[in-house]
């Protein structure tokens, strides 16, 4: 059933053209890639991060300058290193494929130096991928530790096995008492009660 428009109400329009009902209702949700400003925002954040801290404007000032929210900039800033690593990984894979592609286009086998360069690019791409996975795992462990859901033995094992400041931070967080959101006592992962009869 069609809902009647109020008297005197104007139909939504873009310029001189009236919008279709589908276009008029499509206001929420994820933007199309062509409409997204992610690349522009990341480029500005990279420039901002490379500026020395003493000469750097605040993140809020940068947000106002590029007409976006501080919250959105913070979101992109937290994942900027991971995004740069993924872009670097793609570039390494592209370089490795280009070396093999040139040899295939010339209908010849690759020379020893070409094979070494291709292998070096593939290894670099693999290191980028592992680094990205490690960062993602650390983020998950850190979130679990903040919620009090990470067993201290796991955090201790990570800190001992990995010589990484992030692992040390996770260990500190896991030893801190978690805060309850609803004022009820938290259940510890270490001390679980048994319901078996004795």
- Answer for the pair 61, 93: CB distance below 8 angstroms, yes or no: no
Give the residues of the chain that fall short of pLDDT 70. Answer: 1-28, 177-198
Q: How many CB atoms lie within 10 A of CB 5?
A: 9
Q: How far apart are CA 46 and CA 51, in angstroms?
A: 9
Q: How far apart are CA 148 and CA 173, in angstroms?
A: 8
Q: Is residue 26 part of a domain?
A: no
What are the pLDDT digits (tens) for 1-25? 555 555 555 555 555 566 666 665 6
Q: How far apart are CA 92 and CA 115, in angstroms?
A: 14
Q: Between the CA of residue 14 and those of 3, 23, 72, what are the distances in Å?
A: 21, 10, 27
State the total domains in the chain: 1
DSSP 60-126: HHHHHHTT--HHHHHHHHHTHHHHHHHHHHHHHHHHHHHHHHHHHHTTSPPPHHHHHHHHHHHHHHH
Of the candidates 45, 133, 52, 38, the residue with the CA atom closest to the CA atom of residue 85: 133
Q: What DSSP character marks residue 35?
A: T
Q: Is residue 124 part of a domain?
A: no
Phi-psi region of 183 (alpha: psi -120 to 50; beta: other; left: phi over 0): left
pLDDT score recorded for residue 162: 79
Q: Which helix (H) or strand (E) holds 186?
A: none
Q: Is residue 56 part of a domain?
A: yes
pLDDT score recorded for residue 99: 93
Q: What DSSP character marks residue 57?
A: P
Q: Is residue 45 part of a domain?
A: yes
- Answer for the pair 48, 62: CB distance below 8 angstroms, yes or no: yes
pLDDT score recorded for residue 180: 56
pTM of the model: 0.59
Q: Which domain holds residue 74?
A: 36-78
pLDDT score recorded for residue 104: 92
């Amino acid at each position: 059933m069609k809902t009647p428009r109020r008297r005197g109400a104007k139909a939504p329009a873009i310029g001189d053209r009236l919008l279709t009902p589908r276009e008029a209702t499509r206001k929420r949700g994820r933007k199309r890639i062509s409409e997204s400003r992610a690349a522009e925002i990341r480029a500005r954040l990279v420039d901002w991060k490379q500026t020395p801290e003493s000469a750097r404007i605040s993140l809020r000032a940068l947000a106002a300058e590029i007409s976006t929210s501080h919250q959105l900039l913070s979101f992109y800033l937290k994942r900027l290193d991971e995004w740069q690593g993924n872009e670097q990984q793609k570039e390494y894979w592209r370089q490795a494929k280009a070396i093999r592609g040139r040899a295939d286009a010339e209908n010849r086998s690759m020379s020893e130096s070409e094979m070494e360069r291709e292998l070096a690019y593939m290894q670099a791409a693999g290191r980028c991928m592992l680094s990205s996975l490690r960062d993602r795992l650390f983020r998950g462990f850190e979130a679990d530790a903040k919620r009090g859901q990470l067993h201290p033995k796991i955090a201790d094992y990570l800190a001992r096995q990995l010589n990484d400041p992030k692992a040390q931070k996770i260990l500190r967080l896991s030893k801190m008492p978690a805060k309850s959101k609803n004022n009820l006592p938290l259940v510890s992962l270490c001390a679980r009660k048994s319901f078996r009869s004795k």
